[in-house]
Structure 1
Amino acid sequence: MRGLLVAIGFLTRIPVPAAVFDDAGARMRSLPWYPLVGWMLGGLLYLLAWAIHGWPPLLSAALTLAAWVALTGALHLDGLADSADAWVGGIGDRVRTLAIMKDPNCGPMGVTAVVLTLLLKFAALASAPAWPGVWLAPLLGRAALVAAFLFVPYVRAGGMGEGLAASSRAVNTAVLATVAVGCLFAGLRGAASLMVAMALFVAWRRACLQRLGGMTGDTCGALAELTEAAVLIAAATA
């Protein structure tokens, strides 16, 4: 359970005992819990959306999205911004791309990527029933991170995700299979969301391997955000 607490503490702003982060084994075991944390986030967002479902759709969507960002502390939005800046500014060069990702400043491409992603999420939330998108998107966004560490090498030496790369492959595979089956039981929107998330993961993996030879924490953040946006769109249009 310490692994779950680490996952909650890292992926959300929900307070957990600080001592759990001192356990290297718990940090490594936290990865399989990521989809559960996404499911929990989705549940909290759904409760909020249900509580304000009679409000004007645009206001309801804006408040749900604001709560989403607050609960996660914009963790993955930061990775999306850094990745966008690096991908454009890196001009195809691996070393330059990795260096730009480490720069704490946010350039115009990073700002643009964040604004467009949030705009897509907002539009999708305002255009469809709440439950499929707000529950599936956080779940699949964090399941995508499990798939990333399962199928893509981690290339940032000493990075925060280095320990996660040693997580149990068997357990992570079982977790991903469970998530996939759960999405299929969610009906047409669940199946469509799963297919979109898988297609996006394949494209993201190819881009990371071609540019970097693997992934970093920032590219994982970008993956989570893009997956959430894509799933919300799929759930809104299925």
Structure 2
Amino acid sequence: MKIKVIAFDADDTLWINEPYFQEIEQRFCELLEDYLPQHTAARELLQVEIGNLPLYGYGVKGFVLSMIEAALKISDKTIHIDAVEKIIAYGKEMIEKPIELLEGVEDVLKNLQGQYRLVVATKGDLLDQERKLKRSGLEGYFHHIEIMSDKKESDYLKLIRHLDIQPEEFMMVGNSLKSDVLPVLAIGGYGVHVPYHTTWAHEKVEHVVEHPHFYEGQGLSSILLLLQSQ
């Protein structure tokens, strides 16, 4: 490998994120329980979220708007305004959550800093992701921060051009095969999957990935062993 840049996803790779969404989704489904069973309400919410991704992108604000829309749909527009206020409060609560780094993150970044250019490449709302990065205390480790509206092949090619490197000099590390690994492999880069114990349903990939540039790690520190072995 001739890696010059290592990019990291942020949510559920550097710090905890998805459990907060799942907690609020559970509370949303309980709120709508008079209209639908919880598992059915969760399915309706997911459909609304996916339909809204082209409009709102990823992040808490889009999630809140999707919850309100799903509540109106599930209740046939009879949901009380108090419930809508609760949903808005859920969103504010999520935004104000403390940042909890995943195990070993800072040690890994310290080890890699100076040997490689380190980058954050993450999806989500610009303000929210900037806020989380600042609160995390990790900002100083990174050469570049890229908050992306999506993570498709074209988005990664744009980032690679900005970094003035070739695809084979780029490694992406993240918890999502769909967003962090497969698009990077498709353009000739290296993808390292570091699974997190919970993943949003929309990000799940069922098939086995077989590719010479693909690596599966157990915890972020496994990257150090991978790079040392090359």
Provide TM-score, normalisation by structure 2.
Answer: 0.30
Question: Which has the larger helix fraction?
Answer: 1
Higher strand share: 2
Larger of the two Rg values belongs to structure? 2
What TM-score, normalized by structure 1, do the two folds share? Answer: 0.30
